[in-house]
Amino acid sequence: MKSHLLQLLLPVAQSIHPEILANSIQMDRPKSIEHGDFSTNLAMMLAKPMKKNPRELASLIIEKLPKSPFIEKVEIAGAGFINFYLSEKARTFIIHEILKNPLTYGQNTSGHDDKGHPQKVQIEFVSANPTGPLHVGHGRGAAIGDSLARILKFNGWDVTREFYYNDTGAQIDNLTKSVHARCHHIDPSDPAFPEDGYRGEYIVDIANAFLNKSVITCEGKTIHASGNIDDLASIRAFSVAYLRQEQDQDLNAFHIQFDVFTLESSFYQHGYIEKVVNQLIKNGFTYEEDNALWLKTTDFGDDKNRVMKKSDGSYTYFIPDITYHLNKWERGFKRVINEQGSDHHSTITRVRAGLQALKVGIPDTYPEYVLHQMITVMKGGEEVKLSKRAGTYVTLRDLIDEVGCDATRYFLVARKSDSQLVFDIDLAKTQNSDNPVYYIQYAHARIEGVLKQWGGKLDALQDIDLKGLDSTQELILIKRLNEFPEMVLHASLELAPHTIANYLKDCAADLHSYYNDTKFLVANEHEKLQHLSLIKATQIVLKNGLNLLGVNAPDKM
């Protein structure tokens, strides 16, 4: 409907002011249903350059506006706003469109190219170091990243989900030393325990499994623990595999699936790191100083140059990152989105600088970043900071075990990613309207209860005459359903899954108000089918929206 109105307005606007562009016409939804279904400030926008009264321009626009069966009336409000009221035909069209396309209502093809083919996009998220259980920050990244993947796919993109393992470097050395110490029964309180070691109880689990010569199967590879207490190579390989397997289990419990797993070590093994470094040297963007190799990132907007290769011969962390993103580009991903914690903000400029310095045609905005802020977990009015198993942080599994997968996913995605998040475990466990995920799921289940009580076939709702669905609550609910495709597109363009979460909460509130004040299974058969058509359409939208967040839509609660 919004697109339809914009198509009507554009030629009218251009006939009045030829310079106006299509994307400059703003079309909003008034907060109050009394002010119509859509509103535009077009007349006020044109008034200044044309030096005319905005209300007079509004009258001229309305006069020139072509007739449409989907518009009941158009009015001028305030200083020159133009308010559009949809006709009964438009409202009927919306409900029938939902009922006839239950799985695809809200979809679009904005992710297609000019030839109508889905464009490729790769989304990297979670990418936790295999040094411990996933924490709540990883959980927020998982919820946001997976929701973005679902939303972009719904918008016509060809989506690849990818997990990048930093399985090399100092953190893996510290993991190996920690497990080795535990194999020798050295407690973290002992001065002999590695200073930068990992102190959680999970290290004991790994050590015991290693000593018992356990076998781990991960990504098609089988790792046998040698059980030799001083076999550091075996401890290292087994510990990484053990934690990768555990992280996979946590992600499965969170209903997260990846298409590709990439190991940082593979870039070293195949010589890609050296190849990238040599190319940067060849292109003239490096220099040596203090026995280290530096990259001239200031040539690309960084505040200072960065060390690429330290004096001990090891590479700094962002060189493998540059290599990894070159690999993404070479795999054909012209669009890449990284969902990461806010602590990665400092890496954006240097990774992009390194990619630019390679001179292979990569855009300076590649890759895109969605960074999430920290999470505070509350329970009983107090902050929860520790997990016995992890030792120093709250794990994702802690949240799933406490409140379930659905509540965890919803709460972790419900706020804008760059906003700090307070996760209230007590609220997530409540079963009332204060808990948004319960409130939304209950709306879906309530509708299912009515439909089961009716017992009729849903086909009977397909083409029912909906003339007469015009009470205030019905108009509000229909207006909300009409917003869903716009919200899906907006969430895709802004990379903002929280807008879907907020939309669903509002839609559920509209449904509950309608449900509480309306008797659906009335004696009048036609009136009954009208009501059922509207609530069934609402149920479809709720389910489609929850699916975009990876949250279940239960039929009974």
Question: What's the rounded mean pLDDT across residues 444-459?
Answer: 95
Mean pLDDT of the 181-200 span = 94
Residue 21 sits at φ, ψ, to 5 deg, of -105, 155
Residue 383: both structure tokens together: 């902050």
pLDDT of residue 22 exceeding 80, the answer is no
Residue entry with tokens 């030096």: 51
| Mean pLDDT, rounded, for 287-314 | 93
- Rounded to 10 degrees, what is the CA torsion of 507, 508, 513, 515? 110
- As assigned by CATH, the class of the 2-86 domain is alpha beta
Summary mean pLDDT of the chain: 94
- Calculate the alpha carbon distances from 263 to 7, 49, 227, 270, 383 in Å: 49, 57, 25, 11, 35
Q: Is the pLDDT of residue 305 over 70?
A: yes
Nearest 5 degrees, angle CA 318-CA 324-CA 326? 105
Cα separation, 396 vs 398, whole angstroms:
5
For residue 415, how many C-alpha atoms fall within 13 Å in the half-sphere facing its CB? 16
CA distance 443 to 516: 11
Amino acid type, 118: P
- Whether residue 432 is predicted with pLDDT greater than 70 in this model: the reply is yes
Which letter does DSSP use for residue 310 in this model?
-
Q: What is the mean pLDDT of residues 229-252?
A: 95
pLDDT of 387 higher than 80:
no
Q: Which of 23-32, 207-216, 236-245, 367-376 has the lowest mean pLDDT?
A: 23-32
Domain residue limits, the chain = 2-86, 92-112+432-548, 170-248
Q: What percent of the chain has pLDDT over 90?
A: 85
- Per-residue pLDDT reduced to its tens digit, 469-500: 989 999 999 999 999 999 999 999 999 999 99
- In this model, does residue 386 exceed pLDDT 80? no
Say which DSSP state 133 is in: -
Cβ atoms of 277 and 268 within 8 Å: the answer is: no
Q: Phi/psi of residue 166, each to 5°?
A: -85, 80
Task: Compute the distance between CA of residue 351 and CA of residue 357 in angstroms, rounded to an integer.
Answer: 10
Query: How far is it, in rounded angstroms, from Cα 534 to Cα 69?
Result: 21
pLDDT at 388 over 70: no
Q: What is the mean predicted confidence (pLDDT) over 14-21?
A: 88
Spelled out in words, what is the top-level CATH class assigned to the domain 92-112+432-548? mainly alpha
At 249, the pLDDT band (50, 70, 90 cuts) reads: very high
- For residue 480, which of 422, 414, 534 has the smallest C-alpha distance? 534
Lowest mean pLDDT among 15-24, 63-72, 426-435: 15-24
Span 262-271, mean pLDDT?
94
Q: What share of the chain is helix, strand, coil (3-state, %, to 5)?
A: 50, 15, 35
Q: What is the pLDDT of residue 149?
A: 98
The CB-side HSE value for 137 (13 A sphere, CA atoms) comes to 17
pLDDT at 50 over 70: yes
Per-residue pLDDT, averaged over 56-60, amounts to 93
pLDDT of residue 347: 87
Spacing of C-alpha 554 from chain mean position: 22
pTM (whole model) above 0.75: yes
Give the span between the Cα atoms of 487 and 497, in whole angstroms: 10
Nearest in space to 242 (alpha carbons), one of 273, 208, 270, 267: 208
